[in-house]
Amino acid sequence: MIAIDGSQKSSVHTQDCETPNQCQNSSFNFGTSKIVLTTKCCTTDLCNSGSFTASLNDTQNGRKCFSCSATDCNSTVNCVGNEDRCIKAIVDSGGLKKMMKGCVTKNSCLGDFLTNMGYADVRCCKGNLCNGASGVVQSILLLAISFISYIFH
């Protein structure tokens, strides 16, 4: 896994046993941050020994999606590589709900892949800018509801 947050890049290498549906390459591009999951799968005992180098494909593919900055969700991001869908999701960050928008690979939108990573109300769509620019109102509403709930508890 390669994680990019702003200009900071980190890489995590793990070796494990997975089910075939977890053996996939995925990319989540939220504009200001990006996560790339690269897998190398095999089917025999102890076949996952040795080293493995993940690579980034930063070639723009022509798709564009909305993304969120610190203040609104009206920014756009150019999708790269195999990012063929736009995504709109809510992530719970320490009890605070945050709207996330950007580009993602199709296989990441299927099943419980994103919900297992902590994302809720995940919606993927195909088409330029299909993930809507109205997220700032939704983000403010979620923030207000969370704040009111906190005050009364």
**pLDDT, tens digit, 9 for 90 and up, residues 114-123:** 666 666 788 8
Domains of the chain by residue range: 2-41+64-151
- Give pLDDT, residue 79: 95
Q: Does residue 110 register a pLDDT over 90?
A: no
Homologous superfamily in CATH for domain 2-41+64-151: CD59 (2.10.60.10)
Cβ count near 83 (within 10 Å):
27
Q: Which residue has the higher pLDDT, 79 or 48?
A: 79
Band (141; pLDDT cuts 50, 70, 90)? very low
Q: Does residue 59 register a pLDDT over 60?
A: yes
pLDDT > 70 fraction of the chain, expressed in percent and rounded: 69
> Which of 59, 72, 147 lies closest to 103, judged by CA?
59
Mean pLDDT, the chain, rounded, equals 75
Put residue 46 in one of left, alpha, beta given phi > 0 → left and psi -120 to 50 → alpha: left
Q: Token match 């590589």: residue?
A: 81
